[in-house]
Structure 1
Amino acid sequence: MPSNNPLPDLKTGNVSITIPSRSLAEFVVEAFTNIPSRRISALEGILNKLTIDEWRFLKSQVDSKTLCRDIVGSLPLELVTQIFSYLDVATPFRLQRVSKHWNRVLTSPDFLNPRVNSWCTPNDTPLNGEAALQADPYALCTFRAQHQHRFATASPFGYLRIPREIDIKNCWLCGDHILCTPANQPRHIDLQNLRTGKRWRIRTEGRAQIVKAVLSDQLAVYVTYHYVCYAFNFITNETRSFRLPKAMFDRLVCRDSLVACSGVVQGKFHISMWDFDTQETKTFVLNSVEGHWARTLQ
């Protein structure tokens, strides 16, 4: 019975290999299969020995093969999630129709939530319409993905036209709201919620012109040439006002429901704070402000 173990030649010391009782082709295939590593190097050596006819045959075999790989079906979910993070957010939803297995993987919360919520933080204001989808996680992910895709492709659900002739000094963005005033003889302010599309046009009393305008997450505030400060609460649709000397409106800011203005009166720096809810005004003087700072603020 022939042996498969190599035996040394006693005269030359060379090792001879006894081929088992089967075809040489089967032996070569099995030997290639059993190579533990560097199979590419072995394959390269074989290719270097091919004739033209053998290359032609090899090409016909390669052309009939597909080099595609089912990455969704063959890889762990963590790797699939990582791969799709480099693709457009709409891609997973489009590829859910490939097969039942792809649909099951690409619609699972473990896959969709990290992909879609990567654009969101817990502090973000919910999108308009999210509240009705909280009970359906897949519908919520689809809704958010639609907004992200439209943002990435510059295809918004809606848009706002801002006239060219605006006073850039009195144009403000705070949260979801934007405030603009006309550049020439402004007698109104335009306010819009960019998320919901709701608009307001707030006109001044007696067609008085606007000097300054500011915006907070609750109030649209403007001062007219009569030096009356008006505050419009766009949450409650209420308008209230207060009056101060002309010099006190050198600086104007607002936050939440509080309006603050300041100026130099008789060489001293005054700050007045007015609360929209209580309509109370508190004024205090900063005696420690140096002269050059006071002149800068004038």
Structure 2
Amino acid sequence: MAGRSNYDILSSLPLELVVQIVEYLDVTGIIRCQKVSKQWAAIFTTDTIIKRFLPRALELLGLDTTNVATADAKSYIRWLDGIQSSRPVRKVFLPMPGLLEMAGDILYHSRRLFYIMSWPKKIAMLDLETGEKSIWSGVAKKYLQGLALSDRWLITRTAKSTMVAWDVRTLEPVAKALFPAVPGKFTIAKDKVVIVHCYPLFHVSVWDLRSNHVHTFGSFSHLYLWHADADEDVLVAFEINWVTDPYPPRVQQTKWTLTGELLYRKQFRFPVGSRRMEWSSLRPHHDELVRTYGHKSVTQFYSEKDPNLTLHIIYDHSVGNLSLRWIDCVRPINQLTIWGRGGYFGPHIAFRWAHQLRGVAIYNAVTGTTTVHPYQLDSREVNTRKTLGAKLAPPRRPIKDVEFTFSAIRCFGDSEVWGLVTKDGLQLWFFNPEFVPDIPGGEPFLAMEESG
């Protein structure tokens, strides 16, 4: 009997059957199985199993990479596991005292970090790939706000409704436009900027940066999700009426050319499943309203009545499908908790600074769960410790709106790099095993003892 208790039935099964069994596991489960024993490590690192999980890992990372070699496939899976478990390949602290107070807006894309300084008015850039730091002064006289960033363009606002597009490689202004209303939310699709104006009604402007021409069209009542495809020259918009048409919500989908020609309009009931809630309590998050990853665009909503609930809505343009996923959290996360900006690791995993819980909340739409990871201070983050409390203890009561002035920590990043800006500097977490650069002035992370 003692011998039978150590019998490893998995090692005796045919590989074809093992592959069918592991179909029920997620990527984190695969990583855990590799650590059980040498026999299991050999099984769960075979080319057949690794390649089987590769498309799933790439999808969660928001990547469209194809023809990946087996050695690279293992790297992608390790990369994803690090994100889901908040274990980066490397952590670096970059001392930059006063950055949180000086930087009005912090934007990150394609390994470039831009911080828009409110006073003195200037734009600063840190290229994580080369380590190059650049500062441009005199870019505005009275007002400067960072709005959107892509691998090619930086969009800023220099007056109430005047926008300027900059080439991120030279930081030279290439286009300037004056809008009849204050711009609201933004997405960039190659050389087109989609601007959603929120007042008095939703309407859309598409700014062509090559021709510097603006097309304004539409009149929407509840525009919360859209997808722009510059190659197809189309914009797909979704009006979701949570309030007056409670269950299931009615959706109006319209498709336009990027010059404003209406191609079609249709209505349908949102496929929300059997779960019921008070739909009128839903609100979009305060940070960027829509993020696009290839042919997918995503947004999130929180519930004012249920602080344990977040809704993840995604549109897949390749198949024309709109879907919803429920994300639960065992600890309440409310509007004030996530006031500061966050970001997305990919189309299915988001993160935000949870001020009230003194940690980072990671929303996983695939598993339908939210995990709060307590913030770990670097030993040099002395001022941040004073702001958060020596032991990072969460407040005993909810924070009132009048008490909430600004977030002590701001987050940014993507699937490769996660950054946290504090009063003392910048924490950089590198998740991609193939991208772990040496940042000039960056120092190895040294944990403060009382922060765990």
Task: Name which one, 1 or 2, has greater alpha-carbon Rg.
Answer: 1
- Larger strand share, 1 or 2: 2
Output the TM-score relative to the length of structure 1. 0.48
